[in-house]
């Protein structure tokens, strides 16, 4: 069995670094990837970090390589949340089936899957279904939704391999678990390769006024007074 990969990322903005309020949306979905398009997947916001204008701020997120399949629900605000879900280890599979006598859907007991690097789900209900993938948050009662397969046909299946690259977007007013269907920039900031990171890393949000762009860097920026001193200003 593969060991649990756990990465903690600390995101910070220094005093005066951000001129306007901004949210950093973290997603595992690469909208330009062929597989993402082939899966018929929807773009899901895993985490959203809110940074106020001109003030220092910080937040922590934790990636855990522990996953589950979810039969998701969506409210009128495009907020998604898990209803029925089943945790799976890599190398296990399950089926979404009709629950006897209720008309609802449930997951069948997991069984072994031949690919020990993935998890698999098959739609064995009588109608097309949306099926999402969740990430365990340790002792949290609900998993975080990180991937969404739309319109999985009857007797069709999906195979999910762990996603290990984060795509950060600088956007206003998004919430965790939202179907991020509009308002995103054309391109994310530089992707973050989680497997290449130490167990804990710190990332600083900076803003380049000339280009109007945001950037995440592991190099700590100078404080404003240090920048002024370096420029020869008092």
Q: Which residues contact 224 (CB under 8 A, 6 or more apart)?
A: 15, 16
Domain ranges within the chain, ordered by starting residue: 6-230
| Number of helices and strands in the chain (H, E) | 2, 18
Tokens for 89?
């280890």
- CA–CA dist 157, 124 (Å, integer): 9
Strands 213-217, 200-208: pairing kind = antiparallel
Q: How far apart are the first and last CA of the chain?
A: 60
- CA–CA dist 132, 48 (Å, integer): 19
C-alpha distances out from residue 189 to 57, 160, 216, Å: 19, 25, 7
Tokens for 80?
């998604």
Beta carbons of 159 and 120 less than 8 angstroms apart: yes
Does the structure show a pLDDT above 70 at 155?
yes
Sign of the C-alpha dihedral computed for residues 211, 218, 184 and 159 taken in this order:
positive
Percentage of the chain with pLDDT > 90? 59
Does the structure show a pLDDT above 70 at 79?
no
Beta carbons of 200 and 58 less than 8 angstroms apart: no
Beta carbons of 23 and 171 less than 8 angstroms apart: yes
pLDDT single digits (tens) 9-39: 999 999 999 999 999 999 998 878 878 888 8
* DSSP one-letter code for 179: B
Residue of higher predicted confidence among 169 and 78: 169
pLDDT single digits (tens) 108-140: 999 999 999 999 999 999 999 999 999 987 665
Tokens for 31?
């909208």
The neighbouring-strand residues paired with 216 are 205
Does the structure show a pLDDT above 70 at 92?
yes
Residue of higher predicted confidence among 221 and 91: 91
- Strands laid side by side in the 213-217 sheet: 57-64, 6-13, 200-208, 213-217
pTM score, two decimals? 0.85
CA proximity to 67, closest of 161, 3, 1: 161
pLDDT at 1: 42
Tokens for 206?
């900076």
Does the structure show a pLDDT above 80 at 234?
no
Residue of higher predicted confidence among 45 and 4: 45
The arithmetic mean of pLDDT across residues 40-66, rounded, is: 91
Does the structure show a pLDDT above 80 at 231?
no
Helix (H) or strand (E) holding 226: helix 224-230
Does the structure show a pLDDT above 60 at 63?
yes
pLDDT single digits (tens) 173-216: 776 666 666 667 778 899 999 999 999 999 999 999 877 899 99
- The alpha carbon torsion through 102, 106, 111, 116 (nearest 10 deg) reads 170
pLDDT at 173: 74
pLDDT at 160: 96
CA proximity to 24, closest of 54, 55, 57, 48: 48
């Amino acid at each position: 069995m593969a060991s649990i990969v756990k990465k903690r990322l600390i995101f910070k903005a220094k005093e005066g670094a951000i001129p306007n309020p901004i949210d950093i949306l973290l997603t595992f979905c690469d909208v330009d990837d062929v597989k993402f398009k082939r899966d018929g997947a929807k773009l899901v916001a895993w985490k959203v970090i809110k940074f106020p204008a001109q003030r220092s701020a910080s937040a922590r997120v934790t990636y855990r390589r522990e996953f589950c399949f979810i039969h998701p629900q969506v409210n009128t605000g495009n907020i998604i949340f898990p209803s029925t879900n089943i945790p799976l280890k890599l190398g296990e599979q399950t089926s979404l089936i009709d629950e006897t006598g209720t008309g609802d859907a449930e997951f069948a007991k997991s069984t072994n899957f031949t690919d020990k690097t993935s998890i698999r789900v098959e739609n064995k209900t009588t109608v097309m279904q949306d099926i999402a993938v969740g990430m365990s948050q340790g002792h949290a009662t609900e998993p975080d939704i990180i991937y969404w397969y739309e319109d999985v046909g009857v007797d069709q299946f999906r195979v999910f391999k762990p996603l290990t690259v984060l795509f950060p977007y600088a956007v206003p007013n998004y919430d965790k678990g939202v179907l991020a269907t509009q308002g995103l920039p054309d391109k994310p900031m530089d992707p973050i390769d989680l497997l290449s990171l130490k167990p804990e890393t710190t990332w600083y949000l900076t803003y380049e006024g000339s280009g109007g762009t945001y950037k995440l860097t592991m190099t700590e920026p100078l404080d404003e007074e240090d920048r002024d001193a370096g420029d020869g200003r008092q």
